[in-house]
Amino acid sequence: MAARRDELLRVGSVLFATRPYDEVWIEHVAREAGVSSALIYHYFGNKKTFVGEIVRRDSESFLRAITVDTALPPYEQFLTSLDAYLDHIEQHPHAYIAMTRGLASTDPEVREILDSNRAVVTEHTLKRIVSGTPTPAQRMIARAWVVYIVDMCMAWLFDSIVDRAELRDLLIRSYDALSGVITDIGSA
């Protein structure tokens, strides 16, 4: 039963990543999964709940993937987490797209999941740079950097302007610059 449910979520993730929310019907998901739409309604009740479960599942998987050993030095934590982030995107591009795309903005519950993800990544970033409690300005800059990462990764997935090594280098350089700015703000 859990395997069937997971398969429906996986199929839904692919469809919602490749088509706008309004163009995906439960019947499309059922056809792709080789099941009746009644089964999807049985598991999830409605399309909104189904999408919420897709985003929740993909978000949990993403956060598990980027969680690193906090015993590592802060910069090593960042590099390890960044590599895990890029690995996860490469292995699950549809999940990443579905998780970050505009479909989430249609539902406050889904928006809350994504905002929570952004907050977790922002906090991890700040813990690696700031000793003590971050100022509101430091928090704002770190949050903007997290949004920047998402935008860069989406561009990488859709446009392939740079390869993975170049993307990684750009993100590392931006992190180094971010660290300097956040440190300067904290000492001002």
Residue 18 included in any domain: no
Residue 14 included in any domain: no
87: pLDDT confidence band, cut at 50, 70 and 90?
Answer: very high
Q: Which amino acid is at 183?
A: T
Residue 22 included in any domain: no
State the residue range of the domain holding 76: 56-187
Residue 157 included in any domain: yes
Residue 62 included in any domain: yes
What tokens appear for 166 in the block?
């170049």
Q: What is the pLDDT of residue 102?
A: 53
User: What average pLDDT does this structure show over 79-90?
Assistant: 93
Predicted structure pTM score: 0.81
Number of domains in the chain: 1
CATH number, position 149: 1.10.357.10
What tokens appear for 1 in the block?
């039963």
Over 80: is that where the pLDDT of 6 sits?
yes
Q: Distances from the Cα of 139 to the Cαs of 95, 130, 158, 179, in angstroms?
A: 27, 10, 29, 12
Residue 8 included in any domain: no
Residue 33 included in any domain: no
